[in-house]
Homo-oligomer: A and B are copies of this chain.
Amino acid sequence: MAVYTTLGAETLAELVAAYDVGELVSAKGIAEGVSNSNWLIETRRSNGRSHGATSRFILTMYERRIDVNELPFFLDLLDHLAAHGCAVPATIHDREGASLRNIDGKAVALIQFLPGVSPSRPTPAQAEAVGAALAKVHLAGRDFPGKRADRLDPALPEALALAAEVAARWPTDLPRSIIHSDLFPDNVLMLGQEVTGLIDFYFACDGLMAYDLAVTHAAWCFDKPGGLFDAALGEALVAGYESVRLLDHAERAALPLLAQGACLRFVASRAEDWLDTPPGAQVQRKDPMDFVRRWRFYREQGDAIFAKR
């Protein structure tokens, strides 16, 4: 959740005028996204006499961590996935066809607004829907022409170094696609049991599809207040995924290890955020210890959890 930059009304109005979306009528800095600043923008097309219809968009300003040279990959990916029927927001292109513009030297993109709210206590039915939505992204991602090397998070190698046995056994030959690799509940919009939007693709890259499922598992299936594993959520998530794309035997066998790697990555990246966040930033820092506990859980019980029933 972050708004790192203050954007004046005049600057925003000028930016919006570069797109064929009507006139700016409202802009609210929103507490969403960790590496970027985001605004919920409302525009109105005037239709002569009376007030026209309003539309809403998300304006994202890329602040930290993201290599500007990689933004075309992310934005083209959103367009590709949206065109293939995935529940992701498409980008809005400006009057010259570009999906990326600059304000004061910072890259910004205008992105489709999707309805839905992020579930804070997901139900199994919601987890199942998310599994299915993730698998659809994986299937559609396979013919995306853009390339982004399997870097995942800069924190992953460091995290793996923390646990030599995970690193030594890390699989490399599982099926690959473009993966989201950060699909926390915060990054999923839902209406009831329907996934209305997967958002925040800024860790997307070429990678192991099963790793992406393991990340999602680690992010979704633990009760927030107590940190307890919720087996029903875990089963529903995997079942939803397999309703769209079946895991092969090697992928399923690797899930306990992949989930440990996912946890270690979040331990490292959160520790880094914890130290790095500027005091004035409107961002909620997250406790790295959550994922130390989840890592231990997968190390001890991962084999049982992911065993095929």
Residues in A lying within 8 Å of B, measured CB to CB = 1-3, 6, 8-13, 24-32, 40, 42, 44, 113, 115-121, 189-191, 279-285
Report B-chain residues with C-beta under 8 Å of the C-beta of A117: 9, 12-13, 24-27
**Pairwise interchain contact A283-B282, C-beta atoms closer than 8 A:** yes
Copies of this protein chain in the complex: 2
- Residue A42 contacts which of B3, B6, B115 (CB distance < 8 angstroms)? B115
How many angstroms between the C-alpha atoms of A111 and B98 in the bound complex?
37
**Pairwise interchain contact B119-A10, C-beta atoms closer than 8 A:** yes
How many angstroms between the C-alpha atoms of A2 and B31 in the bound complex?
9
A288 to B: closest C-beta gap in Å: 15
A220 to B: closest C-beta gap in Å: 14
How many angstroms between the C-alpha atoms of A12 and B113 in the bound complex?
19
**Pairwise interchain contact A10-B120, C-beta atoms closer than 8 A:** yes
Report B-chain residues with C-beta under 8 Å of the C-beta of A40: 28, 30, 40
How many angstroms between the C-alpha atoms of A24 and B190 in the bound complex?
11
**Pairwise interchain contact B31-A32, C-beta atoms closer than 8 A:** no
Interface pairs (12), CB distance under 8 Å: A3-B282, A6-B120, A8-B119, A8-B120, A26-B113, A26-B116, A28-B28, A28-B31, A29-B31, A29-B32, A30-B40, A31-B282
Report B-chain residues with C-beta under 8 Å of the C-beta of A282: 1-3, 31, 281-284
A126 to B: closest C-beta gap in Å: 10
**Pairwise interchain contact B30-A121, C-beta atoms closer than 8 A:** no
Instruction: Give 6 A-B pairs besides A1-B3, A25-B117 with Cβ atoms closer than 8 angstroms.
Output: A2-B282, A3-B31, A12-B117, A28-B30, A30-B40, A280-B285
Query: In the complex, what residue of chain B is closest to A58 when comparing beta carbons?
Result: B28
Query: In the complex, what residue of chain B is closest to A29 when comparing beta carbons?
Result: B31
How many angstroms between the C-alpha atoms of A204 and B102 in the bound complex?
40
How many angstroms between the C-alpha atoms of A282 and B115 in the bound complex?
24
